[in-house]
């Protein structure tokens, strides 16, 4: 399965990646710049420190020079040298000594013979004209500078001085090989000035010097002035050293045990550059047992030869710690910025991808069936266009679905209508079929009934004739008269049945004419009174005023309505309402004549049978009334139907064909 990444994640990544690359690039550049800047700044500081150290060194030399110069120029000095007065010289030089301690302070006459040594008054009379400084002064030229003195020269001045100068050389890694184990020469800051007579001619010279071997006053002063005693982890940060050749003769660089590293030596490469080539060394260097940021420069003697070196240096550790601290701070800043960047990018990503998520949710809802959903996006970009298109799409979908639904509904409606029509037609077909069957049955019955009636009619006529004859001979009151009357009534009844049978068989032809239907109905009601009592029966006539005559066989229609009215009156058993109603049916569908009663009603099981011949529920009924009526109405091209319930009674409706145009205008406008 392919891995999925959300748009939000991609947007965040997309905006973070360039940011990250920029951060890494800026970070590395920043770190490089900071590191190199710190290193170069430190190096630059040490370079200027060396200048300051040189100033201190030169100051010291100037001081020596000044004292020697001033003392040599003193007129008492000239007089004392002139006369060789050692006591005066001693007084003069001791006052000088009290102002500044010099390791060598010697007065010579014009031949270079020592008149007085301030530190060694006992030793005098020797000639030191070989000393370059003394020689120059005796020639009238004052001189000062750094120079070296041999062991013997030092010992000649004072034994302690030679002893102070002697330094045991400590084997040092990376230093030059093949050097003496003990350095016996001494490096001095020296000055010599001529002592002049009144005419300005040199009559002697004053020679003074400070021995630098094992004399740490100067290097400590340099350290104090330049580095002001700054410490790191309990260790002095700044250091200064004076080298004679490549040997440390005065220093405050600590050795392993914490003592001064006097006797240790320069590395060969620094020696070559500074002492051999006479150039500066400004770089980091491993000094004794630690890394320092250093600066060295050669110390030249009065002849211009590099006899030693002046060094200042700072421990590298504080700068390394500073670098580390700056790097850590820088790293934290970058990390914090990155986290902030992630948070901001994440926020922006979430904000930008929200409409996409909303669209996705909406699309899911559309997929499960919701319609006409809308989304509001106001980002003024492609997302807004997409949302508008989506809204357009869901709207169109809803419209199309509604159209389809409406078509479906129409289709269903049509199917229902067609089905109903079909059912109606089917019902009609069934009814027609049933009617056909009934008609056929009735036709057969009719044929049979007609045959029977004909056969019975002849003997019946004979019986009736003979009964009438008997009635004539057997007068009322005769004992057999009652039987004769019974024969007569029964034959009468039989004749009626035969007549009904003949009617049923429709032997009679239709004599079409105009029938005043309302008058006919009224006449039947008045005639009925002879057969049944109407005393408690209310008769209601709802005749249509527009209906006057209808076309049909007057006698046969009388037969029909007589049957219906008589049945109605009988069903009410003496009391109720008989309603007679006529109506012109709309659309020239003919006329309807209704006979309604409030009688006992017809049960559902009987409703099917009442038009069947010989069906009767009455003791003396023939069961032919309705079947005969049915036949007559059918002959007229009409229809007869019934509605009945035990509560409301029964209504028979006869529908006969006929057009309004058939109806001639009634003279009174009423029936």
**Number of Cβ atoms within 10 Å of the Cβ of 557:** 24
Write the CB contacts of 163 (distance below 8 Å, at least 6 apart in sequence). none
User: Alpha-carbon distance 212 to 209, whole Å?
Assistant: 9
Six token digits for residue 501: 């049978």
First to last CA, the chain: 97
Q: With respect to ligand ADP, which residue has the nearer C-beta, 181 or 647?
A: 647
Query: Least Å distance between CB 439 and ligand ADP?
Result: 17
Query: Least Å distance between CB 558 and ligand ADP?
Result: 15
Q: With respect to ligand ADP, which residue has the nearer C-beta, 256 or 619?
A: 619
Query: Least Å distance between CB 651 and ligand ADP?
Result: 9
The answer to the question of residue 84 lying near ligand ADP (CB under 6 A) is no
Site string for ligand ADP, 564-593 (x = CB under 6 A): ---xx--x----------------------
User: Alpha-carbon distance 445 to 453, whole Å?
Assistant: 12
User: Alpha-carbon distance 530 to 538, whole Å?
Assistant: 17
User: Alpha-carbon distance 515 to 561, whole Å?
Assistant: 13
DSSP 283-305: EEEEETTEEEEEEEEEEEBTTS-
Q: Helix, strand or coil for residue 320?
A: helix
User: Which CA distances in Å does 101 have to 73, 98, 131, 439, 588?
Assistant: 19, 7, 21, 171, 163
Q: With respect to ligand ADP, which residue has the nearer C-beta, 290 or 643?
A: 643
Looking at the chain, how many residues does it have? 671
User: Alpha-carbon distance 405 to 297, whole Å?
Assistant: 104
Q: How many residues bind ligand ADP (CB under 6 A)?
A: 21
- CA dihedral sign, ordered 340, 343, 346, 347: negative
Query: Least Å distance between CB 498 and ligand ADP?
Result: 15
Query: Least Å distance between CB 569 and ligand ADP?
Result: 8
Query: Least Å distance between CB 626 and ligand ADP?
Result: 4
Residue at token pair 């002492």: 275
Strand partners, 313: 239, 294
Q: With respect to ligand ADP, which residue has the nearer C-beta, 65 or 650?
A: 650
Q: With respect to ligand ADP, which residue has the nearer C-beta, 270 or 624?
A: 624
Helices 7-72, 217-227: axis angle to 10 degrees equals 140
HEC secondary structure over 44-109: HHHHHHHHHHHHHHHHHHHHHHHHHHHHHCCHHHHHHHHHCCHHHHHHHHHHHHHHCCCCEEEEEE
Q: With respect to ligand ADP, which residue has the nearer C-beta, 623 or 657?
A: 623
**Is 498 within 8 Å of 457 (Cβ atoms)?**
yes
Q: With respect to ligand ADP, which residue has the nearer C-beta, 202 or 599?
A: 599
Query: Least Å distance between CB 560 and ligand ADP?
Result: 11
User: Alpha-carbon distance 333 to 471, whole Å?
Assistant: 150
Query: Least Å distance between CB 517 and ligand ADP?
Result: 19
| 437-456: contacts with ligand ADP (CB under 6 A) | none
The answer to the question of residue 650 lying near ligand ADP (CB under 6 A) is yes
Q: With respect to ligand ADP, which residue has the nearer C-beta, 167 or 569?
A: 569
Site string for ligand ADP, 484-523 (x = CB under 6 A): ----------------------------------------
Query: Least Å distance between CB 418 and ligand ADP?
Result: 39
Query: Least Å distance between CB 599 and ligand ADP?
Result: 5
Q: With respect to ligand ADP, which residue has the nearer C-beta, 251 or 598?
A: 598
Q: With respect to ligand ADP, which residue has the nearer C-beta, 88 or 651?
A: 651
Query: Least Å distance between CB 617 and ligand ADP?
Result: 3
Q: With respect to ligand ADP, which residue has the nearer C-beta, 324 or 618?
A: 618
Site string for ligand ADP, 540-569 (x = CB under 6 A): -----------------------x---xx-
Strand partners, 577: 538
Query: Least Å distance between CB 648 and ligand ADP?
Result: 12
**Is 237 within 8 Å of 315 (Cβ atoms)?**
yes
DSSP 654-666: EEE---GGGSPPP
Pick the closest to residue 467 from 483, 487, 482, 481 (CA basis).
487
Residue nearest to ligand ADP (CB): 625
Site string for ligand ADP, 597-636 (x = CB under 6 A): x-xx-x-------x----xxxx--xxxxxxx---------
- CA dihedral sign, ordered 608, 613, 615, 619: positive
User: Alpha-carbon distance 242 to 286, whole Å?
Assistant: 17
User: Alpha-carbon distance 282 to 317, whole Å?
Assistant: 17
Query: Least Å distance between CB 667 and ligand ADP?
Result: 34
Write the CB contacts of 321 (distance below 8 Å, at least 6 apart in sequence). 232
Write the CB contacts of 647 (distance below 8 Å, at least 6 apart in sequence). 601
Q: With respect to ligand ADP, which residue has the nearer C-beta, 90 or 494?
A: 494
User: Alpha-carbon distance 254 to 260, whole Å?
Assistant: 5
Q: With respect to ligand ADP, which residue has the nearer C-beta, 315 or 521?
A: 521
Q: With respect to ligand ADP, which residue has the nearer C-beta, 293 or 571?
A: 571
Q: With respect to ligand ADP, which residue has the nearer C-beta, 373 or 497?
A: 497
Query: Least Å distance between CB 435 and ligand ADP?
Result: 18
Query: Least Å distance between CB 496 and ligand ADP?
Result: 11
Site string for ligand ADP, 170-209 (x = CB under 6 A): ----------------------------------------
User: Alpha-carbon distance 417 to 141, whole Å?
Assistant: 147
Strand 290-300 to 512-516 pairing: unpaired
In angstroms, what is the C-alpha Rg of the chain?
Answer: 79
Query: Least Å distance between CB 611 and ligand ADP?
Result: 8
Q: With respect to ligand ADP, which residue has the nearer C-beta, 465 or 646?
A: 646
Q: Helix, strand or coil for residue 603?
A: coil
Q: Residues in the site for ligand ADP, rule: CB under 6 A? A: 563, 567-568, 571, 597, 599-600, 602, 610, 615-618, 621-627, 650
């Amino acid at each position: 399965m392919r891995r999925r990444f959300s748009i939000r994640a991609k947007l965040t990544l997309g905006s973070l990646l360039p940011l990250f690359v920029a951060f890494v690039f800026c970070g590395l550049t920043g770190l490089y710049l900071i590191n190199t800047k710190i290193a170069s700044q430190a190096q630059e500081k040490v370079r200027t420190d060396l200048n300051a150290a040189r100033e201190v060194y030169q100051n010291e030399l100037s001081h020596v020079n000044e004292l020697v110069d001033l003392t040599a120029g003193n007129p008492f000095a000239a007089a004392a040298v002139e006369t060789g007065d050692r006591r005066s010289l001693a007084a003069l030089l001791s006052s000088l000594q009290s102002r500044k301690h010099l390791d060598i302070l010697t007065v010579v006459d014009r031949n270079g013979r020592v008149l007085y040594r301030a530190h060694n008054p006992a030793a005098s009379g020797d000639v030191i004209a070989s000393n370059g400084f003394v020689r120059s002064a005796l020639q009238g030229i004052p001189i000062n500078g750094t120079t070296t003195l041999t062991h013997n020269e030092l010992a000649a001045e004072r034994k302690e001085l030679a002893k102070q100068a002697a330094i045991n050389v400590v084997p040092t890694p990376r230093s030059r090989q093949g050097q003496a184990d003990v350095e016996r020469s001494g490096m001095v800051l020296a000055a010599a000035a001529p002592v002049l007579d009144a005419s300005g001619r040199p009559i002697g010279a004053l020679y003074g010097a400070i021995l630098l071997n094992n004399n740490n006053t100067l290097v400590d002063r340099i350290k104090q002035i330049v580095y002001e005693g700054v410490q790191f982890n309990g260790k002095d940060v700044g250091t200064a050293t004076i080298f004679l050749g490549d040997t440390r003769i005065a220093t405050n660089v600590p050795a392993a045990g914490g003592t001064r590293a006097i006797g240790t030596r320069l590395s060969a490469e620094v020696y070559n550059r500074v002492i051999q080539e006479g150039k500066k060394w400004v770089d980091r260097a491993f000094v004794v047992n630690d890394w320092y940021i250093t600066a060295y420069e050669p110390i030249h003697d009065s002849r211009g030869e590099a006899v030693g070196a002046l060094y200042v240096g700072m421990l590298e550790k504080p700068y390394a710690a500073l670098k580390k601290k700056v790097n850590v701070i820088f790293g934290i800043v970058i990390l914090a910025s990155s986290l902030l960047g992630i948070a901001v990018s994440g926020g922006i990503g979430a904000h930008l991808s929200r409409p996409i998520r909303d669209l996705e949710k909406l699309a899911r809802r559309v997929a499960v069936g919701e319609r006409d959903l809308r989304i509001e996006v106001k980002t003024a970009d492609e997302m807004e266009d997409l949302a508008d298109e989506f809204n357009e799409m869901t709207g169109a979908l809803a419209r199309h679905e509604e159209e389809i639904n409406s078509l479906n509904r129409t289709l269903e409606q049509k199917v229902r209508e067609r089905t109903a029509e079909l059912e109606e037609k089917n019902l009609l077909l069934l009814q027609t079929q049933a009617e056909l069957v009934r008609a056929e049955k009735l036709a057969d019955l009719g044929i049979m009934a007609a045959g029977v009636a004909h056969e019975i009619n002849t003997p019946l006529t004979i019986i009736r004739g003979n009964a009438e004859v008997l009635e004539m001979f057997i007068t009322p009151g005769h004992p057999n008269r009652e039987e004769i009357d019974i024969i007569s009534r029964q034959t009468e009844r039989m004749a009626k049945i035969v007549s009904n049978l003949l009617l049923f068989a429709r032997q009679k032809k239709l004599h079409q004419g105009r029938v005043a239907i309302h008058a006919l109905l009224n006449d039947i009601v008045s005639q009925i009174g002879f057969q049944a009592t109407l005393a408690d029966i209310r008769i209601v006539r709802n005749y249509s005023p527009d209906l006057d005559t209808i076309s049909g066989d007057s006698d046969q229609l009388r037969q029909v309505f007589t049957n219906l009215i008589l049945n109605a009156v009988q069903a009410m058993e003496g009391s109720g309402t008989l309603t007679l109603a006529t109506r012109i049916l709309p659309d020239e569908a003919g006329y309807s004549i209704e006979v309604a009663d409030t009688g006992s009603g017809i049960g559902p099981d009987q409703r099917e049978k009442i038009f069947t011949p010989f069906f009767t529920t009455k003791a003396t009924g023939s069961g032919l009334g309705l079947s005969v009526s049915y036949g007559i109405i059918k002959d007229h091209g009409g229809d007869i139907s019934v509605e009945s319930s035990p509560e409301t009674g029964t209504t028979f409706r006869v529908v006969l064909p006929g057009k309004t145009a058939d109806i001639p205008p009634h003279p009174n406008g009423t029936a």
